[in-house]
């Protein structure tokens, strides 16, 4: 089954979904073809890898049609039908998650068939369930818009003449749900655009009108936590710098953690952290601590964890780096140890040793005591030797961290050795994405220039070096290179300004 489009569809199913798909395949309502059930039973034996080369069509065909000669046309039709069945399952599986959308279709049919007693009972269940929902979801507002629309049709058919007040009241409720859905959706997408753009003057159609409408009706709309937060967050992003508004947005997010869907709450926190990062990069060092506090809150809320309960390595590293930048080294060490077992088993040891090395390296960079600095660096270097390098993710990171530490310890020969090792690895590696590879190549070339600067043999000025670093399209550890050239320049100025004592 090489190059079969069915394989990626099956690989996308997790264990629970595969079981549900099996029930779906075996249901006569969705699949009247018994041969597809047999095909499912054969294919699930190859889960989860589904290595195409191991899935031989002839053998599978022989088990489905014992004693019959292989027919490629029949097999292709079975595979095609199975692909359609997987797609149908995706739709079915997603539909079953939305109980209010199901209720809408049920009410629509009950109303169409004039089953009014059933209609009234199901409508009562729907409205009661809606009122009990504590977490806001704009899709639910759209579902209720449709449900209220069916209720309005029901009332129009059944209310006696002269008593149409309930009908118009229901139409009003319908419009309110639609406005909630539209405003939230519009603000979410506008906010996404504002946070992703580089031009602060960008404007989306109706944005000012919608913001003005929300402002004029804030007593109504600010009861909705998402509208309240997004309105103020959009204002903050547009202003760029407003500490008071930043604190307002942060407080509103923290206060409404239990009223917002986790996926979107994570998005809001991430944008809050990105805002803090931008302020910190502009020179406002107090926002390093803000970013750290935000990431701690995200961790406490469980927002970093995947659906299977594991903490992704990227999040583990990101939190460590933020703690290091905040000089919260004791917290970082405790976090790394306590959350080590939250990582997937195969990633655990490498992630722990690498991030502990980062922690000790960061401590070394901030230490003013030469002996202590060397201790931290040597501890970090020892931890790096414990990493089992089996992919470029760790290979290049380990090598660059070694280069940085040996450079900072003035061990020129070792620095050059690891630079050459890095360059050789980059040259022979064919798996690494080109842009990432170019970033590390550029890093290695710039470190060679740094070595020349330190030795006093560089052919370019420090300003030219900075310009080269800032203008490089692909470059890793850009800020580290700038900090090192700044340090060289500062050291030279001190030496130049030093006057020997008079005899």
Q: Is the same domain home to 418 and 474?
A: yes
User: Which residue has 């079975």 as its token pair?
Assistant: 78
Half-sphere exposure of 92 (CA within 13 A, CB side): 16
Q: What is the pLDDT of residues 315-354, one digit of tens each?
A: 999 999 999 999 999 999 999 999 999 999 999 999 999 9
Report which of 293, 132, 139 is spatially closest to residue 226, judged by C-alpha positions: 139
Taking 50 as the threshold, does the pLDDT of residue 500 lie above it? no
Residue 372 lies inside a defined structural domain of this protein: no
The residue out of 97, 127, 144 marking a domain boundary is 97
**CB atoms near residue 214 (< 10 Å):** 20
Residue 69: predicted pLDDT: 94
Per-residue pLDDT averaged across 253-274, rounded? 94
Q: Is the same domain home to 77 and 103?
A: no
d(C-alpha 21, C-alpha 27), whole Å: 10
Taking 80 as the threshold, does the pLDDT of residue 40 lie above it? yes
Q: Is the same domain home to 393 and 489?
A: yes
Q: What is the pLDDT of residues 85-104, one digit of tens each?
A: 999 999 999 999 999 999 99
Q: Is the same domain home to 402 and 417?
A: yes
Poorest-pLDDT segment among 156-165, 229-238, 284-293: 156-165
The residue out of 35, 65, 97 marking a domain boundary is 97
User: Which residue has 């405790």 as its token pair?
Assistant: 334
Report which of 367, 366, 364 is spatially closest to residue 381, judged by C-alpha positions: 364
d(C-alpha 354, C-alpha 352), whole Å: 6
Contact of 98 with 139, CB cutoff 8 Å? yes
Q: Is the same domain home to 107 and 79?
A: no
Residue 282: predicted pLDDT: 85
Residue 206 lies inside a defined structural domain of this protein: no
Q: Is the same domain home to 402 and 482?
A: yes
Long-range contacts, 385-393 (Cβ 8 Å, 24+): 386/349, 386/353, 387/349, 387/350, 387/353, 387/354, 388/349, 388/350, 391/431, 392/429, 392/431, 392/432, 392/436
Q: Is the same domain home to 80 and 117?
A: no
Report which of 429, 373, 372, 435 is spatially closest to residue 404, judged by C-alpha positions: 373
Residue 480: predicted pLDDT: 94
d(C-alpha 291, C-alpha 274), whole Å: 8
Residue 283: predicted pLDDT: 84
Distances (CA, A) of 108 to 53, 95, 159: 49, 16, 18
Contact of 477 with 404, CB cutoff 8 Å? yes
Report which of 198, 263, 262, 268 is spatially closest to residue 227, judged by C-alpha positions: 268
Residue 110: predicted pLDDT: 97
Report which of 140, 226, 125 is spatially closest to residue 177, judged by C-alpha positions: 140
Report which of 464, 462, 459 is spatially closest to residue 487, judged by C-alpha positions: 462
Residue 254 lies inside a defined structural domain of this protein: no
Per-residue pLDDT averaged across 368-383, rounded? 95
User: How many domains would you assign to the chain?
Assistant: 3
Residue 343 lies inside a defined structural domain of this protein: no
For every residue of 183-210, DSSP letters joined together read HHHHHHHHHHHHHH-S-TT---TTHHHH
d(C-alpha 292, C-alpha 302), whole Å: 15
Report which of 14, 18, 9 is spatially closest to residue 307, judged by C-alpha positions: 14
Q: Is the same domain home to 91 and 122?
A: no
Poorest-pLDDT segment among 267-276, 388-397, 423-432, 462-471: 388-397
Q: Is the same domain home to 61 and 75?
A: yes
The residue out of 150, 182, 214 marking a domain boundary is 182
Q: What is the pLDDT of residues 103-123, one digit of tens each?
A: 999 999 999 999 999 999 999
Q: Is the dihedral of CA 478, 479, 482, 483 positive or negative?
A: negative
Residue 204: predicted pLDDT: 73
Q: Is the same domain home to 118 and 81?
A: no
Residue 200 lies inside a defined structural domain of this protein: no
Residue 205: predicted pLDDT: 80
DSSP bridge pairs for 260 = 136
Taking phi over 0 as left and psi of -120 to 50 as alpha, with beta for the rest, 206 belongs to left
Residue 482 lies inside a defined structural domain of this protein: yes
Q: Is the same domain home to 81 and 142?
A: no
Contact of 186 with 210, CB cutoff 8 Å? yes
d(C-alpha 446, C-alpha 457), whole Å: 14
Peptide bond between residue 197 and the one before it cis (omega within 30 degrees of 0): no
Distances (CA, A) of 262 to 134, 182, 239, 409: 13, 21, 27, 45
Q: Tokens standing for 151?
A: 């209720």
Q: What is the pLDDT of residues 403-445, one digit of tens each?
A: 999 999 999 999 999 999 999 999 998 889 999 999 999 999 9
d(C-alpha 493, C-alpha 26), whole Å: 79
**CB atoms near residue 470 (< 10 Å):** 11
Q: Is the same domain home to 140 and 64?
A: no
Residue 460 lies inside a defined structural domain of this protein: yes
Supply the range of the domain harboring residue 146: 99-182
Residue 379: predicted pLDDT: 97
The model's confidence at residue 491, banded by pLDDT at 50, 70 and 90, is confident
Contact of 250 with 271, CB cutoff 8 Å? no
- The one-character DSSP state at 502 is P
Residue 503: predicted pLDDT: 41
* Number of helices (H), then strands (E), in the chain: 24, 0
Residue 201: predicted pLDDT: 55
Q: What is the pLDDT of residues 43-94, one digit of tens each?
A: 999 998 888 777 888 999 999 999 999 999 999 999 999 999 999 999 999 9
DSSP bridge pairs for 136 = 260
Kindly report the average pLDDT of the chain as a whole number: 92
d(C-alpha 40, C-alpha 33), whole Å: 11
Taking 90 as the threshold, does the pLDDT of residue 391 lie above it? no
SS3 61: helix
Residue 86 lies inside a defined structural domain of this protein: yes
């Amino acid at each position: 089954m090489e190059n079969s489009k069915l394989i990626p569809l099956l690989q996308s199913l997790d264990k629970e979904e595969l079981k549900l798909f099996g029930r779906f395949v075996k249901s006569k309502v969705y699949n009247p073809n018994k041969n597809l059930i047999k095909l499912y039973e054969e294919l699930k034996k190859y889960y989860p890898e589904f290595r195409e080369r191991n899935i031989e069509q002839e053998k599978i065909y022989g088990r489905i049609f014992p004693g019959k000669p292989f027919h490629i046309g029949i097999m292709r039709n079975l595979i095609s039908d199975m692909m359609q069945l997987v797609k149908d399952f995706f739709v079915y599986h997603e539909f079953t998650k939305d109980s209010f959308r199901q209720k809408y279709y049920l009410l629509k049919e009950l109303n169409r068939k004039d089953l009014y007693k059933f209609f009234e009972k199901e409508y009562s269940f729907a409205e009661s369930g809606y009122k009990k929902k504590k977490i806001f979801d704009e899709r639910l507002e759209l579902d209720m818009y449709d449900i209220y629309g069916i209720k309005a049709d029901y009332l129009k058919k059944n209310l006696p003449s002269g008593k149409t007040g309930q009908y118009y009241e229901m139409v009003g409720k319908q419009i309110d749900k639609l406005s909630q859905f539209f405003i939230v959706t519009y603000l979410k997408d506008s906010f996404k655009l504002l946070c992703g753009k580089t031009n602060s003057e960008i404007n989306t159609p109706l944005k000012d009108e919608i913001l003005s409408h929300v402002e004029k009706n804030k007593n109504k709309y600010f009861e909705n936590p998402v509208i309240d937060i997004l309105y103020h967050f959009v204002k903050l992003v547009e202003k760029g710098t407003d500490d008071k508004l930043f604190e307002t947005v942060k407080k509103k997010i923290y206060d409404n953690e239990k009223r917002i869907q986790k996926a979107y709450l994570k998005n809001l926190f991430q944008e809050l952290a990105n805002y803090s990062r931008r302020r910190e990069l502009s020179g406002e060092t107090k926002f390093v601590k803000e970013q750290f506090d935000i990431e701690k809150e995200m961790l406490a809320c469980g927002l970093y964890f995947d659906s299977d309960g594991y903490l992704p390595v990227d999040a583990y590293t990101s939190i460590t780096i933020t703690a290091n930048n905040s000089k919260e080294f004791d917290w970082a060490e405790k976090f790394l140890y306590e959350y080590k077992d939250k990582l997937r088993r195969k990633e655990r040891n490498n992630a722990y040793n690498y991030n502990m090395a980062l922690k000790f390296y960061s401590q070394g960079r901030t230490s003013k005591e030469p002996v202590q600095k060397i201790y931290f660096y040597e501890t970090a270097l020892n931890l790096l030797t414990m990493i089992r390098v089996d992919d470029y993710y760790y290979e290049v990171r380990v090598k660059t961290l070694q280069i940085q530490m040996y450079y900072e310890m003035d061990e020129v020969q070792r620095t050059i050795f690891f630079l050459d090792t890095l360059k050789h690895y980059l040259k022979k590696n064919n798996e690494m994405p080109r842009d990432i590879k170019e970033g590390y190549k550029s890093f290695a070339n710039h470190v060679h220039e740094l070595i020349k600067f330190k030795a006093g043999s560089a052919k370019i000025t420090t300003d030219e070096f900075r310009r080269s670093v800032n203008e490089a399209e692909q470059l890793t550890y850009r800020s580290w290179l700038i900090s090192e050239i700044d340090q060289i320049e500062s050291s030279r100025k001190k030496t130049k300004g030093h006057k020997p004592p008079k005899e």
